[in-house]
Amino acid sequence: MKVLIVGANGQVGKHLVSFIQDHKDLEAKVMIRKEEQASYFNDLGADTVVVDLEEDVNAIAKAAEGVDAIVFTAGSGPNTGADKTILVDLDGAVKTMKAAEEAGVKRFIMVSSFDTTREAIQSAPSSFAPYVAAKHYADEWLKTTDLDYTIIHPGALTNDEGIGKVNAASKVERNEIPREDVASVIVATLENNATIGKEFQVVTGTKSIKDEINSI
């Protein structure tokens, strides 16, 4: 399975590309924003394509040609304003879904935020609410498509070394999770078609990633 990773240059994305390239049944194609980001991924043997999420749907669809699945793990980052949040986390996500449809790619994995409910938007601090709203509407849009989607809601991300153990369910107690383990969760989700049409929260826990994803 060839997988297009949108947001590959992010911290979760880099772990994911590395894991996919080491996987006997998976192959990575990475979508990056700048040519100078390519060398890291070329060293891993991954195909690279330079497309900015603020470009049009056709540019993203061209990047998606020849792949079997798309993982959207892009984000505007904590140091940008609400304008970039809307353009990347919402509009960029929706354009990627449309590009998947245009390119004939059915499998789509969305890396979302831990809680994207309406209640989470209302209770979020004013500085964070645009991000939660963007993720909420991107998730809701994905559910209306005909894509074979899975929505992953990771807990608070850390740079700790992954431990390979998580708790995952439609709702779990809020906790942290290493970015490395989120990448492993994505791989396990790609391996398991039973996750299609489902969404789940995931945090550091007590069960192996593969077993826990198999139980979703």
Half-sphere exposure in the Cβ direction for 180 (13 Å, CA): 7
Q: CB-based contacts of 93: which residues, under 8 Å, 6+ apart?
A: 72, 74, 110, 134, 138, 141, 142
CA–CA dist 185, 177 (Å, integer): 11
Task: Name the residues annotated as catalytic.
Answer: 131
Closest residue by Cα to residue 167 from 185, 151, 180: 185
